[in-house]
Amino acid sequence: QNIFSPDGTIPKDTIFEYCRLYEQRIESFGGLDAVLLGIGRVGNIGFNEPGSRLNSTTRLILLDNDSRNEASKMFGSIESTPISSITMGVSTILAAKKIFLMAWGDDKAKMVKECVEGAVTDTIPASYLQTHNNAHVIIDLSAAGNLTRIHRPWLVTSCEWNDKLIRSAIVWLCQLTGKPILKLTNKDYNENGLSELLALFGSAYNVNIKIFNDLQHTITGWPGGKPNADDTYRPERAKPYPKRVVVFSPHPDDDVISMGGTIRRLVEQKHDVHVAYETSGNIAVGDEEVIRFLHFINGFNQIFNNSEDKVITDKYAEIRKFLKEKKDGDIDTRDILTIKGLIRRGEARTACTYNNIPLDHCHFLDLPFYETGRIQKGPLTEADV
C-alpha cells in the first residue's frame, strides 16, 4: 500500500488526467520528504530527458535512444523496451525536503561532473539539483573520477605529491598549454595552479627532466625484462628469466585486442605465456553463428556417419526449433549457451595459435559471476576465487 509507481499500461487518452491525479496524491501526503535518484548517461533524473524544464511535473515523455538502451537491461532487449514513459517531473523532485542522488562506476563519471560542477542547464537535468538547498550526491571513487578534487586536486587544495600525482599534473599541463614536457616554463606552472611543484623541485627545468625520464623509462621493447642487462631504469626486472606470465582476459578476445603485440613479444622472447579467460563470452555470440555450426556438425554426421549419431540429429532438431520460436528477452537454453561458449573458445584458441601460444596454455575459467546467460552478472562468491 506504500508503493505508487506510475502505471505505464493505462490508455493514452487518460494519461493527462492520471498524471494530474498523481501530483495531487503527492500533495495529499504533504509532499515528498526525501527523493532517491540515479543519474542516466545523458544526465537525466528519472526519465526527465535533456530539454526538461525546471517547472515540469509528472507527464508522459518520449525516451531517446540512450535512455532506451539503458532501460533495455530491465526488458531484455532494445526491441522490447517501450518508446515512452511516465516520469515524475523536475519541479516535483525539487519540491522534496531532501534529495539523494547515487551513482556507481566510471561510466557515470562524466555526468556526475556535469551535475556537480557544470552549469545549471536543461541539457543536463541532474544539474538542477544544484538549486536545491538539501541535495546530496552519494558516489563511489570511480563515479567521482572526473571531479576536480579527484582528477585535478592541485586546483582546489594543497597536495601530498607522489610520483603518480606529479606525472598526472604534468601531463595535464602539457595538454592545457599544448607544449611538450621539456618546454614547460616556470610561468606555465605558476599560472595553472602548480607553483607547489616549483617550490618542491626548485624550477620547471628540474621537474620537467624528472618526469620526462620517468615516462621514458616506461617504454621498452622487452615487456618481460631484458636478460643479462642492467635493469636499473627498465620497467621490468631482468631476472628471473624466462618468466611465467599469466594474461587475464575477461572475454575471449580482450587479450589480443588490448595487448596482442605485447603477448607476441613475450612469446618471441621465450617467456612461458598462459592466457586465462574469465568468462565464456557466450552471450556475445549471435544465434546465426549457432545455426551455422549446427549445420556443420549435422552435415559432418551425414557425410561420415550416415546420420547414425542420434545425439547429434536430436540436438540439431531441438535447438533449431528453440531458436525458431525464440522471442526477445528469452534466455538461451544451457545447450545453446554451451555451444556459444565453444565457438568463443575456438576463436580464442585460434588467436593463441597465431601468437604461438601452446593450446594447453589456454585456460577457460567460466567464472560463475559471468555465467548467468544475461548481461546482468551474478553475485561474486567464493566459487569465483
Catalytically annotated residues: 49
* Contact status, residue 52 vs residue 45, Cβ threshold 8 Å: no
Q: Any alpha helices (H) in the chain, and if so which ranges? A: 15-28, 65-75, 90-94, 109-117, 148-151, 163-177, 186-191, 195-201, 204-216, 254-268, 287-305, 310-325, 334-354
Quick one: three-class SS letters along 67-135?
A: HHHHHHHHHCCCCCCCCEEEECCHHHHHCCCEEEEEECCHHHHHHHHHHHHCCCECCEHHHHHHHCCCE
Nearest C-alpha neighbor of 357 from the set 250, 236, 245:
245
Report how far residue 95's alpha carbon sits from residue 23's, in angstroms, rounded to the nearest whole number: 11
| C-alpha distances out from residue 346 to 147, 195, 252, 253, Å | 43, 56, 9, 11
**Other CB atoms within 10 A of residue 272 CB:** 15
Q: Can you tell me which residue has the cell 575477461? A: 250
Residue 261, C-alpha cell as written in the block? 603485440
Report how far residue 239's alpha carbon sits from residue 228's, in angstroms, rounded to the nearest whole number: 8
Nearest C-alpha neighbor of 259 from the set 235, 244, 275, 237:
275
Q: Can you tell me which residue has the cell 557515470? A: 108
Residue 251, C-alpha cell as written in the block? 572475454
275, β-bridge pairs: 247, 362
SS3 366: coil
